[in-house]
Amino acid sequence: MLLGGLWHGASWNFIVWGGLHGLLLGAERMYGRKPVYFFLPRFFRIAFTFILVLIAWVFFRAETFSGALYYLGSMFGMVDVPQTSLLLGGLIYTSYSLAAMSVAALVVWRAPQTWDWSRKLTPLKIAVVVIMLVISVAVLSTQSYNPFIYFNF
């Protein structure tokens, strides 16, 4: 995983990202199918794993190692962040973002798994997929420029 982090970029934040994922995978393999926190209810185990992975991904998306540490500090309230730069105020409370997150939550928690849904393709299912593809491309084309993550390679 360290080499995987280094492959993504030659900076400390990518090495830390790979190292954290390697540690998490190693811990999982060391304890087998029963994690250390097995005594917790399933919801809390999932939430704990999500938070650990979320913290590791901060290092992947940050431009610098110090930027990642600053971001983590702001996530946990250890750094004073100006009110104008808060993500919650600028993004989450827009009607488009709330609608997109609500639809995503419904799809994740209520829709059938893709593998099960696509075992038998019907003309209706194909039409739904094509319509969703067209909508996705239309939404992506209206957004501002966002470079491909590996544009430096």
**pLDDT tens track for 13-59:** 888 989 998 988 888 787 776 666 778 888 888 888 889 888 998 99
The model's pLDDT over 133-144, given as tens digits with 9 standing for 90+, comes to 999 888 888 877
Q: Which residue has the higher pLDDT, 73 or 84?
A: 73
H runs (alpha helix) in the chain: 2-8, 12-31, 42-61, 65-75, 87, 95-110, 114-117, 123-142
**CA-based angle 44:48:54, to the nearest 5?**
140
Closest CA to 51 of 29, 81, 82, 20: 20
